[in-house]
């Protein structure tokens, strides 16, 4: 039986992870659960799964959770903050760690799991965007396994041959085709995008995601971050990764080989599929997802992304081409801009403007140490916040 820590347990990925794990009580035991501020949600999960540890990101929430569990589950140890997240990420009884904390906040606990030599189920793409070279070096140094959870990267992983870590050319791979739904505004007239509301941006046509990731999907920054993540996961350059709009979200990504063969991974848009794959790899287990009905799907459409409509995707390619700390600046500026949009302080089409201005203001430097990366992250957030127009 494998011990499992779930970072970000009350989010959509965390809930799906626990759903898969609950279907296999003979294989997985929940060791620790964490959440940001959702005390009631984490309390319900704790009472069901009875982990050894529970962590809230904030002290006040941790105190509230401890009080909530005192009568019914006094044996659960409640921790708080980044230190608590790192502690449960490296517990010796936790064989697998699901990294599903959204944004840069997920970097430190994911890195702690890597340094403890865990199997890291990586749903937090920002960890690699911010610190790709360092993160992968630490994984290699400590013998950690990194298995991707994003449906696109998991699909690529499933289509890759053994030995791809030595470079794609050596295993006969020509390129990676990352699919994207195009989000809710793929066909909305460009002149109407300036009036997009947070509610509209969060209404993804195919996937059930949190607000930040939903907005990233609407701007296609999510796909840009995935391009950067794929460069690190699959040891390749951005010019060998092509983004393909595929509105049905049935083909989750593809790998093209030197001989012209293209392997695709298909399935319903259900995150339990990649989660189950990573939990059991190299075995296959029941995920709870339904069978794909090709007769109902009927047709599959593909088109090239419009970089004028989706400038965030172009900015992500620009950042990974620059290298060094540029992706960390991109990510920090995007998090600030998206938060401002969700708060009603920034228009939808101004999100890429803030990101571009921040990238221009902070020259890329080497990203060789964690302290330097975190300093650049903090600086980029400060610069981005200043780029947001103040209300008149």
| Domain C-terminal end among 95, 118, 148 | 148
Tokens of 355: 């990101």
Q: Are residues 144 and 164 in the same domain?
A: no
| Domain C-terminal end among 99, 117, 148 | 148
Structural domain harbouring 173: 156-297
Q: Are residues 281 and 185 in the same domain?
A: yes
Q: Are residues 234 and 118 in the same domain?
A: no
Q: Scanning the structure block, which residue is given the tokens 């982990």?
A: 51
Q: Are residues 180 and 79 in the same domain?
A: no
Q: Are residues 194 and 137 in the same domain?
A: no
Is residue 18 exposed (0-12), middle (13-18) or buried (19+ Cβ within 10 Å)? buried
Q: Which pLDDT score, from 0 to 100, does residue 206 have?
A: 63
Query: Do the domain assignments include residue 161?
Result: yes
Query: Do the domain assignments include residue 307?
Result: no
Low-confidence ranges of the chain (pLDDT < 50): none
Q: Which pLDDT score, from 0 to 100, does residue 186 have?
A: 87
| Domain C-terminal end among 85, 119, 148 | 148
Q: Are residues 142 and 182 in the same domain?
A: no
Q: Are residues 29 and 135 in the same domain?
A: yes
Residue 83: count of CB within 10 angstroms of its CB: 12
Q: Are residues 95 and 228 in the same domain?
A: no
Structurally, the chain folds into a number of domains equal to 3
Q: Are residues 138 and 171 in the same domain?
A: no
Q: Are residues 285 and 343 in the same domain?
A: no
Question: What span, in angstroms and rounded, lies between the C-alpha atoms of 206 and 222?
Answer: 15
Is residue 38 exposed (0-12), middle (13-18) or buried (19+ Cβ within 10 Å)? middle
Q: Are residues 169 and 255 in the same domain?
A: yes
pTM of the entire predicted model: 0.92
Q: Are residues 109 and 243 in the same domain?
A: no
Q: Which pLDDT score, from 0 to 100, does residue 210 have?
A: 79
Query: Do the domain assignments include residue 53?
Result: yes
Q: Which pLDDT score, from 0 to 100, does residue 205 have?
A: 65
Backbone dihedral region for residue 172 (phi beyond 0: left; psi -120 to 50: alpha; all else: beta): left
Query: Do the domain assignments include residue 182?
Result: yes
Q: Which pLDDT score, from 0 to 100, does residue 389 have?
A: 86
Q: Provide the CATH number for the domain around residue 346.
A: 1.10.1740.10
Q: Which pLDDT score, from 0 to 100, does residue 54 have?
A: 98
Q: Which pLDDT score, from 0 to 100, does residue 207 have?
A: 62
Query: Do the domain assignments include residue 311?
Result: no
Q: Which helix (H) or strand (E) holds 322?
A: helix 311-322
Q: Provide the CATH number for the domain around residue 75.
A: 3.40.50.720
């Amino acid at each position: 039986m494998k011990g499992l820590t779930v970072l970000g347990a009350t989010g959509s990925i965390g809930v799906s992870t626990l759903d898969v794990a609950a279907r296999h009580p003979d294989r997985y035991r929940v060791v620790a659960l964490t959440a940001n501020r959702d005390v009631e949600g984490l309390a319900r999960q704790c009472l069901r799964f009875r982990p050894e540890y529970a962590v809230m990101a904030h002290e006040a929430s941790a105190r509230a959770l401890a009080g909530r569990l005192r009568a019914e589950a006094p044996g659960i140890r409640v921790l708080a903050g980044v230190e608590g997240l790192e502690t449960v990420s490296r517990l010796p009884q936790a064989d697998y760690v699901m990294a599903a904390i959204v944004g840069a906040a997920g970097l430190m606990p994911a890195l702690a799991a890597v340094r403890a030599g865990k199997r890291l189920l990586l749903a937090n793409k920002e960890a690699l965007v911010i610190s790709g070279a360092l993160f992968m070096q630490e994984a290699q140094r400590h013998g950690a396994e990194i298995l991707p959870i994003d449906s696109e990267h998991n699909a690529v992983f499933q289509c890759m041959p053994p030995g791809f870590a030595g470079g794609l050319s050596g295993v006969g791979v020509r390129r990676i085709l990352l699919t994207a739904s195009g989000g809710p505004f793929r066909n909305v007239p460009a002149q109407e995008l300036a009036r997009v509301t947070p509610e509209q941006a969060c209404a993804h046509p195919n996937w059930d995601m949190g607000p930040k990731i939903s907005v990233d999907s609407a701007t296609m920054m999510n796909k840009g971050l995935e391009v950067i993540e794929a460069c690190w996961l699959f040891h390749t350059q951005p010019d060998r990764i092509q983004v393909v709009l595929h509105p049905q979200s049935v083909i989750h990504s593809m790998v093209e080989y030197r001989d012209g063969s293209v392997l695709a991974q298909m399935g319903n848009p259900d995150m339990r599929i990649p989660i189950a794959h990573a939990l059991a790899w190299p075995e296959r287990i029941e995920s709870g997802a339904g069978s794909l009905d090709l007769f109902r799907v009927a047709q599959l459409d593909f088109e090239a992304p419009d970089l004028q409509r989706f400038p965030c995707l172009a900015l992500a390619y620009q950042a990974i081409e620059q290298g060094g700390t540029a992706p960390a600046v991109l990510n920090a500026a995007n998090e600030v801009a998206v938060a401002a949009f969700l708060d009603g302080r920034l228009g939808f089409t101004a999100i890429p403007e803030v990101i571009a201005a921040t990238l221009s203001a902070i020259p890329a430097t080497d990203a060789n140490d964690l302290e330097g990366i975190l300093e650049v992250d903090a600086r980029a957030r400060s610069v981005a916040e200043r780029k947001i127009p103040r209300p008149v």
